[in-house]
Amino acid sequence: MAVPHDLTTLVHDCADCPIRHRAVCARCETDELQRLEQIKYYRSYQAGQTVVWSGDRMDFVASVVTGIATLTQTMEDGRRQMVGLLLPSDFVGRPGRSTAAYDVTATTDLVMCCFRKKPFEEMMTGTPHIAQRLLEMTLDELDAAREWMLLLGRKTAREKIASLLAIIARRDASLKLRAAQGSLVFDLPLTREEMADYLGLTLETVSRQMSALKKDGIIELEGKRHIIVPNFDALLEETGDDSDGGFLV
Amino acid sequence: MAVPHDLTTLVHDCADCPIRHRAVCARCETDELQRLEQIKYYRSYQAGQTVVWSGDRMDFVASVVTGIATLTQTMEDGRRQMVGLLLPSDFVGRPGRSTAAYDVTATTDLVMCCFRKKPFEEMMTGTPHIAQRLLEMTLDELDAAREWMLLLGRKTAREKIASLLAIIARRDASLKLRAAQGSLVFDLPLTREEMADYLGLTLETVSRQMSALKKDGIIELEGKRHIIVPNFDALLEETGDDSDGGFLV
DNA sequence: TTCTTCGCTTGATCTGCATCAAAGGCAGAC
DNA sequence: GTCTGCCTTTGATGCAGATCAAGCGAAGAA
């Protein structure tokens, strides 16, 4: 279902390109793209596997091709907070730093497109296009982080759950499957515990609020993971966010 | 006391420059710097004044020269969460977007060094150095945002307060005044309410925890704003963070 | 001087979520 | 088939921090 991605998204930002993440785009097949192709390689991880531990050496940068990875921070006493959720086409790693700042974990089977940091950095100095694209992506991530901060600091448990569901629904490629009526179907890529780590809650509270949303008819559950949202607007109502819509318009 | 800053920090990243934020640095006085000088202008704001409202047109980017500004998000019902704290040398504004995503407010008297977005962006495409520097700064901000997320999601009120004090102490230029003994003196640039908005708490809880830290001898208070930290390590103990030190070594 | 305002502190009470605990459902191993 | 382990749900209870409320002190205005 999902179209494969790789780091070509770095040099690839044609607003009018019909398939935004195609591995090769006629308009973007430039020198940069070809040079990237030469130094890239792929790595696979199984669900549950750790990609790197916080503090460990990380001598590559990468973008997610398929699957989902998380960035988490852990306190000495074991309290955990997820600080990043990496979906296909997302970038991880920081040029100019050699150790990972967070635990990176595959929550599903995962394929990443990697570049050893050295040649990537060398390339970056020679190709302004890449630094600009990377800046753009980083600014998007910063915006997402700031919305996440509002969620963590000020939203109720119910609002947090609704917001997370809305975020995942928005980014899930399978949303193309949605029926005309505004209903939406997708699979949760996270366990209750991972949702809790995302939201700054306990897994029990997550479970209770999921049940409550179900009881109130905001969502339907098939099994633990398969979600049906009969009315996306009703879900958005629960997030506490401004109802700008903006999505599905 | 504070050394003036301006956007020269954008093209200026000499690790061995003795005064990292000098307005002009011999090693950095390049073409870029001179071109930046030509298009920059300054704006001043009084304490409490709003620089831009979320959603408004924002046709410039800027960096803080002196004073402190905040980025906040507000929900319809009035709940507020601070999502950024801008100290001297910090950058605000996003190339490639024309409206502000957050309220930007001066919490003290504020001077900013501004660039109209158009010429700035034009310059950026011609000078890879600037995009790279901006990327680096944005990545730093992203890291700060992620640490902030851990704070918001998992820390207790007491840990939040201690963390905020540690963050401000770390960044306050006047820390050079610290006595040999590891004690530290600084002025809080925020009201109790602003601290609460930063930390995802109420102002009452902030006040209570400040009193508690004072009672326990972690901090001393002179008036409402002037803080003395007799033992910085003791404060760090309260933050819940790994005691990597790293600072003041 | 006194009044008002604003930022702050402190007390009393309430409540949303955490914590502790038990049990159900499902998948994979044997 | 049963057993085992993991994820999840649900219930009972407790507590950290929110909420409601009162009052203080300093700065400025009349």
- Per residue in A45-77, pLDDT tens? 999 999 999 999 999 998 888 889 999 999 999
Q: What is the pLDDT of residues A160-203, one digit of tens each?
A: 999 999 999 988 755 555 555 668 899 999 999 999 999 999 99
DSSP B67-91: S-EEEEEE-TTS-EEEEEEE-TT-E
pLDDT of amino acid A223:
87
User: Looking at residues A35-45, what average pLDDT do you find?
Assistant: 81
Strand C closer than 7 Å to the CB of A204? yes
pLDDT of amino acid B17:
33
Buried b (16+ CB within 10 A) or exposed e, B175-206: beebeeeeebbbebbbebebbbbbbbbeeebb
The footprint of strand D (CB < 7 Å) covers A 191-193, 203-204, 206-208, 210-211, 221, 224-225; B 156-158, 200-202, 204-205
pLDDT of amino acid B95:
86
Q: Which residues of B touch A139 (CB under 8 A)?
A: 94, 96, 138
- B80 CB within 8 Å of a chain A CB: yes
Helix axes B128-154, B157-171, angle to 10 degrees: 150
C9: residue with closest CA to C1': B207
Distances in Å between the Cα of B54 and the Cα atoms of A23, B42, B83, B119 are: 36, 21, 12, 23
Q: Which residues of B touch A132 (CB under 8 A)?
A: 124-125, 131
**pLDDT interval class at A1 (50, 70, 90):** very low
CA of B117 to C1' of D4 (A): 63
Size of interface A-B (CB pairs under 8 A): 112
Contact B139, B145 (CB under 8 A): no
User: Looking at residues B155-163, what average pLDDT do you find?
Assistant: 98
> Does the pLDDT value for residue B10 go beyond 80?
no
Residue B138: name the closest of A134, A75, A20 by CA: A134
Highest mean pLDDT among A143-152, A172-181, B178-187: A143-152
**pLDDT interval class at B190 (50, 70, 90):** very high
Strand C closer than 7 Å to the CB of B211? yes
User: Looking at residues A221-225, what average pLDDT do you find?
Assistant: 90
> Does the pLDDT value for residue B18 go beyond 70?
no
- A92 CB within 8 Å of a chain B CB: no
> Does the pLDDT value for residue A4 go beyond 60?
no
Pick the residue with more confidence: A249 or B232? B232
User: Looking at residues A8-34, what average pLDDT do you find?
Assistant: 44
Strand C closer than 7 Å to the CB of B208? yes
Sign, CA torsion B38/B53/A198/A4: negative
Sign, CA torsion B54/B57/B63/B68: negative
> Does the pLDDT value for residue A101 go beyond 90?
yes
CB contact under 8 A, B199 and A141: no
**pLDDT interval class at A246 (50, 70, 90):** very low
User: Looking at residues A132-158, what average pLDDT do you find?
Assistant: 94
Residue B28: name the closest of B4, B9, B53, B54 by CA: B9
Pick from B149, B164, B198, B244 the residue to mutate for testing the A interface (most A CBs within 10 Å).
Answer: B149
Pair of tokens at residue A167: 């975020």
> Which nucleotides along chain D are within 7 A of a protein C-beta?
7-12, 16-21
> Which nucleotides along chain C are within 7 A of a protein C-beta?
7-12, 16-21, 26
Average pLDDT over chain B reads 82
CB contact under 8 A, B94 and A139: yes
> Does the pLDDT value for residue A36 go beyond 90?
no
> Does the pLDDT value for residue A245 go beyond 60?
no
**Cα separation, A226 vs B29, whole angstroms:** 59
H or E element at residue A138: helix A128-154
> Does the pLDDT value for residue B98 go beyond 60?
yes
SS3 B245: coil
Closest residue on chain A to B197 (Cα) = A153
- B136 CB within 8 Å of a chain A CB: yes
Nucleotide nearest B204, CA–C1', reads C9
pLDDT of amino acid B248:
41
User: Looking at residues B130-137, what average pLDDT do you find?
Assistant: 84
- A154 CB within 8 Å of a chain B CB: yes
Query: So what's the ipTM on this one?
Result: 0.88
Q: What is the pLDDT of residues B196-229, one digit of tens each?
A: 999 999 999 999 999 999 999 999 999 899 999 9
Q: What is the pLDDT of residues B28-59, one digit of tens each?
A: 445 666 666 678 888 999 999 999 999 999 99
Pair of tokens at residue A180: 């005309």
What residue type is B203 in one-letter code?
Answer: L
Pick from B54, B130, B137, B150 the residue to mutate for testing the A interface (most A CBs within 10 Å).
Answer: B150
pLDDT of amino acid A90:
87
For A131, the closest of B79, B128, B142 (CB atoms) is B128
* Side-chain half-sphere CA neighbours of A13 within 13 A: 12
Nucleotide nearest A202, CA–C1', reads C18
CA of A223 to C1' of C25 (A): 10
Contact A171, A88 (CB under 8 A): no
**pLDDT interval class at B6 (50, 70, 90):** very low
Pick the residue with more confidence: A192 or B9? A192
Strand C and chain A: which residues 212-231 have CB closer than 7 Å? 223
- B200 CB within 8 Å of a chain A CB: yes
> Does the pLDDT value for residue A120 go beyond 50?
yes
Pick the residue with more confidence: B2 or A25? A25
The structure's pTM equals 0.88
Which residue do the tokens 């030469």 mark? A38
- B244 CB within 8 Å of a chain A CB: no
